[in-house]
């Protein structure tokens, strides 16, 4: 037995409450090393005649990646407390594994076991229920639709007349979104994520000038009210983008510091290493990256904190928004996000809090900070298989399992799954214009767990390399739209809504290809009495796929063809 490969540590993704009375326990073992794992557990205080009362339950191998097998089991401890360990069998040896290490046999002292001390409801990770049933649409407002010519910025270019550049403007606005809600409803999405709409200098608006005002190029507060009301009437949720890591250059407090230096009353609103301020070549104050026009906000300063928390509260309270997407979320302190969560959830408990984090995000997903993060590891894996072709289906599945077992199940159900955004090349361009691949990618995205998001225009086959290329004006000319792709995605969304097993219902398991030359990806979702199978062939040629036994005994319905 490869003892050094066995990993478990209580809490996080290895032992967590999934509801108020159920716990999931997982353990990671070297791939193909262990044939059976039993959980040995009991209430630490339950003794009969000086013997600790123990129970056993089989764990099941839920998936594997390139190096490891992941085992899982669910239990409901009657008194909400347990001590537990693992009985591991590799076919030759049987070892017990607990907090104090490995033992030849099951031991009877709960002090040597792992501890999940108490299942307190306050600590159970809980995201809003509606998120699981949402299909998002990401809108970059300057480029989606121009509904009102009167608020066009100076030098606005005719819609789509030029390639997007870092500083050109095409007049997209909120009125335009209102006018296109029928289109979104036709597509079937029921959530919109807007990149920033507050007053800012650039076309992307990530350089906020005033967090309490709508950018006049996009409309005003009345427009936003009308937009959100119109969305809610149609059952569409609205998520705004909070850029709290840094402000823009023209944010009044930063201008004050630029003007008054050390005398500015705002000097502690930022992280200034020395005065006078130097902007070039590297600023002598903290910034987003080394961008001197994006000074990092000092979120530990009580004044800044209260200002930003009020921003967070204001748009929820006054505009009834449904979500906050947090830009560069992992560079802001955890302490701030804990306060932020309390502040906004106290107004609207069902608000969705989504952090932009590209890496492993467990430290932000413990129930006290975010509900989810943007699932870029998911994106990368999809691109590696379909666009870059540097993975086999077997490796793709393994990598997807690495991602799945990185978090608790209920987090996976609300992770913001995307295949492109304003920060990445468009999916069709990544696939070198191969629409078949894009169709398959959306099939995967829209039948997988998580809360999927479509970047505006991807559904009609728009192209574009990285920023600014991916920020073209939305193509509204139907003749220029790939309607076939649109209908494919529309169909998938409808299927996802009609068949909960294609969404977040049931338990997901990949069928793992045994060899690198197998050209299929397949996963099953099961719940009592019902199961769904999704099979994809990511290759260019016909391939064989052996239907699992459990699908051979009863009639199958092909959900795509009906």
Q: Does 122 bind a copy of itself (CB under 8 A)?
A: yes
Closer by beta carbon to a copy of itself, 333 or else 530: 333
Q: Does 120 bind a copy of itself (CB under 8 A)?
A: yes
Kindly report the length of the chain. Answer: 562
Tell me the two tokens of residue 96: 């017990």
Q: Does 179 bind a copy of itself (CB under 8 A)?
A: no
Q: Does 57 bind a copy of itself (CB under 8 A)?
A: no
User: To the nearest whole angstrom, how small is the minimum distance from the Cβ of residue 23 to a copy of itself?
Assistant: 15
Which of 311, 83, 280 is CA-nearest to residue 199?
311
Closer by beta carbon to a copy of itself, 9 or else 259: 9
For CA atoms 63, 69, 73, 79, give the dihedral sign. negative
Question: Starting at the edge strand that comes first in sequence, how are the strands of the sheet with 507-511 ordered?
Answer: 507-511, 521-527, 530-536
Binding region for a copy of itself (CB under 8 A) out of 97-105, 153-161, 516-524, 553-561? 97-105
Q: How many CB atoms lie within 10 A of CB 480?
A: 11
Q: How far apart are alpha carbons 533 and 501 in whole angstroms?
A: 9
Q: Does 35 bind a copy of itself (CB under 8 A)?
A: no
Residue selected from 41, 68, 136, 198 as contacting a copy of itself according to rule CB under 8 A: 68
Residue selected from 56, 58, 60, 79 as contacting a copy of itself according to rule CB under 8 A: 79
Binding region for a copy of itself (CB under 8 A) out of 115-123, 128-136, 412-420, 424-432? 115-123
User: To the nearest whole angstrom, how small is the minimum distance from the Cβ of residue 222 to a copy of itself?
Assistant: 37
User: To the nearest whole angstrom, how small is the minimum distance from the Cβ of residue 403 to a copy of itself?
Assistant: 11
User: To the nearest whole angstrom, how small is the minimum distance from the Cβ of residue 122 to a copy of itself?
Assistant: 4
Query: 455 by DSSP, 3-state: which?
Result: strand
Q: How far apart are alpha carbons 91 and 249 in whole angstroms?
A: 64
User: To the nearest whole angstrom, how small is the minimum distance from the Cβ of residue 111 to a copy of itself?
Assistant: 6
Q: How far apart are alpha carbons 385 and 517 in whole angstroms?
A: 13
For CA atoms 469, 470, 471, 473, give the dihedral sign. positive
Residue selected from 133, 156, 168, 380 as contacting a copy of itself according to rule CB under 8 A: 380
User: To the nearest whole angstrom, how small is the minimum distance from the Cβ of residue 289 to a copy of itself?
Assistant: 4
Q: Does 362 bind a copy of itself (CB under 8 A)?
A: yes
Q: Does 101 bind a copy of itself (CB under 8 A)?
A: yes
Q: Which residues are catalytic?
A: 327, 356
Phi and psi, residue 325, nearest 5° = -100, 130
Residue selected from 117, 235, 389, 433 as contacting a copy of itself according to rule CB under 8 A: 117
Closer by beta carbon to a copy of itself, 35 or else 111: 111
Phi and psi, residue 46, nearest 5° = -100, 105
Listed in sequence order, the residues at least 6 apart from 457 whose beta carbon sits closer than 8 Å to its beta carbon are 426, 472, 474, 475
Which of 95, 117, 98, 118 is CA-nearest to residue 109?
98
For CA atoms 280, 285, 289, 292, give the dihedral sign. negative
Whether 246 and 295 have beta carbons less than 8 Å apart is answered as yes
Q: Does 114 bind a copy of itself (CB under 8 A)?
A: yes
Q: Does 30 bind a copy of itself (CB under 8 A)?
A: yes
Residue selected from 163, 262, 263, 290 as contacting a copy of itself according to rule CB under 8 A: 290
Q: Does 313 bind a copy of itself (CB under 8 A)?
A: no
Q: How many CB atoms lie within 10 A of CB 185?
A: 14
User: To the nearest whole angstrom, how small is the minimum distance from the Cβ of residue 100 to a copy of itself?
Assistant: 8
Q: Does 330 bind a copy of itself (CB under 8 A)?
A: yes
Which of 84, 83, 107 is CA-nearest to residue 95?
107
Q: Does 500 bind a copy of itself (CB under 8 A)?
A: no
Binding region for a copy of itself (CB under 8 A) out of 116-124, 176-184, 196-204, 497-505? 116-124
Residue selected from 31, 226, 491, 526 as contacting a copy of itself according to rule CB under 8 A: 31
Q: Does 363 bind a copy of itself (CB under 8 A)?
A: yes
User: To the nearest whole angstrom, how small is the minimum distance from the Cβ of residue 14 to a copy of itself?
Assistant: 11
Q: Does 338 bind a copy of itself (CB under 8 A)?
A: yes
Whether 136 and 459 have beta carbons less than 8 Å apart is answered as no
Whether 14 and 54 have beta carbons less than 8 Å apart is answered as no
Q: How far apart are alpha carbons 458 and 288 in whole angstroms?
A: 28
Q: How far apart are alpha carbons 327 and 545 in whole angstroms?
A: 42
Closer by beta carbon to a copy of itself, 99 or else 210: 99
Binding region for a copy of itself (CB under 8 A) out of 10-18, 155-163, 223-231, 450-458? 10-18
User: To the nearest whole angstrom, how small is the minimum distance from the Cβ of residue 480 to a copy of itself?
Assistant: 33
Strand pairing report for 114-116 and 82-89: antiparallel
First to last CA, the chain: 48
* C-alpha pair distances (Å), 420 with each of 84, 143, 241, 417: 42, 16, 17, 9
Listed in sequence order, the residues at least 6 apart from 128 whose beta carbon sits closer than 8 Å to its beta carbon are 349, 350, 351, 352, 371, 414
Binding region for a copy of itself (CB under 8 A) out of 308-316, 333-341, 501-509, 517-525? 333-341
Which spans of this chain sit near a copy of itself (rule: CB under 8 A)?
2-5, 7, 9-12, 30-31, 44-46, 66-68, 79-81, 99-101, 111, 114-115, 117-118, 120-123, 286, 289-290, 299-300, 330-336, 338, 357-360, 362-363, 368, 380, 402
């Amino acid at each position: 037995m490869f003892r050094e490969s066995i990993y478990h540590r209580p809490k996080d993704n290895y032992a967590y409450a999934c509801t108020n009375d159920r716990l999931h326990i997982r353990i990671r073992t070297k791939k193909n090393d262990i044939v059976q794992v039993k959980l040995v557990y009991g209430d630490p205080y339950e003794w009969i005649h000086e013997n600790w009362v123990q129970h056993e339950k089989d764990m099941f191998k839920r998936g594997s990646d390139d190096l490891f097998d992941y085992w899982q089991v669910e239990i409901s401890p009657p008194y909400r407390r347990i001590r537990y360990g693992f009985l591991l069998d590799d076919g030759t040896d049987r070892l017990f594994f607990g907090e104090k290490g490995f033992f030849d046999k099951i031991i009877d002292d709960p002090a040597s076991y792992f501890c999940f001390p108490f299942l307190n409801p306050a600590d159970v990770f809980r995201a809003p229920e509606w998120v699981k049933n949402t299909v998002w649409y990401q809108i970059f407002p300057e480029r989606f639709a121009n509904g009102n010519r009167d608020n066009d910025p100076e030098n606005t270019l005719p819609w789509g007349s030029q390639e997007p550049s870092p500083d050109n403007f095409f007049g997209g606005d909120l009125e335009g979104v209102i006018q296109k809600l029928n289109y979104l409803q036709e597509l079937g999405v029921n959530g919109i994520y807007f990149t920033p709409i507050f007053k800012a200098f650039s076309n992307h608006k990530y350089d906020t000038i005033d967090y309490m005002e709508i950018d006049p190029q996009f409309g005003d507060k009345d427009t936003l009210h009308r937009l959100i009301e119109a969305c809610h009437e149609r059952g569409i949720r609205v998520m705004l983008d909070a850029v709290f890591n840094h402000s823009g250059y023209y944010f009044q407090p930063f201008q004050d510091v630029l003007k008054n230096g050390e005398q500015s009353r705002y000097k502690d609103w930022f992280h200034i290493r020395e005065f006078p301020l130097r902007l070039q070549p590297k600023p002598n104050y903290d910034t987003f990256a080394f961008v001197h026009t994006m000074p990092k906000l000092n979120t530990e300063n009580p004044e800044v904190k209260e200002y930003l928390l009020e921003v967070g509260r204001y748009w929820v309270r006054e505009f009834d928004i449904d979500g906050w997407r947090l830009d560069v979320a992992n560079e802001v302190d955890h302490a701030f996000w804990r306060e932020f969560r309390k502040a906004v959830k106290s107004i609207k408990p069902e608000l969705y809090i989504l952090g932009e984090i590209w890496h492993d995000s467990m430290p932000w997903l413990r129930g006290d900070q975010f509900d989810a993060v943007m699932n870029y590891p998911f994106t990368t894996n999809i691109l590696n298989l379909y666009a870059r072709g540097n993975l086999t289906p077997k490796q793709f599945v393994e990598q997807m399992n690495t991602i799945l077992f990185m978090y608790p199940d209920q987090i996976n159900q609300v992770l913001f799954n995307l295949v492109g955004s304003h920060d990445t090349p468009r999916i069709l361009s990544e696939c070198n214009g191969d629409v078949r691949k894009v169709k398959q990618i959306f099939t995967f995205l829209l039948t997988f767990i998580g809360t999927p998001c479509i970047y505006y225009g991807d559904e009609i086959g728009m192209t574009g390399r990285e920023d600014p290329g991916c920020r073209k004006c939305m193509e509204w000319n139907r003749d220029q739209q790939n309607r076939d792709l649109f209908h494919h995605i529309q169909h998938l969304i409808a299927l996802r809504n009609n068949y909960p097993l294609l969404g977040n219902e049931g338990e997901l398991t990949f069928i793992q290809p045994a060899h690198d030359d197998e050209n299929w990806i397949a996963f099953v979702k099961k719940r009592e009495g019902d199961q769904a199978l999704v099979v994809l062939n990511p290759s260019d040629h016909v391939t064989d796929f052996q239907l699992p036994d459990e699908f051979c005994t009863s009639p199958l319905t092909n959900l795509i063809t009906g």
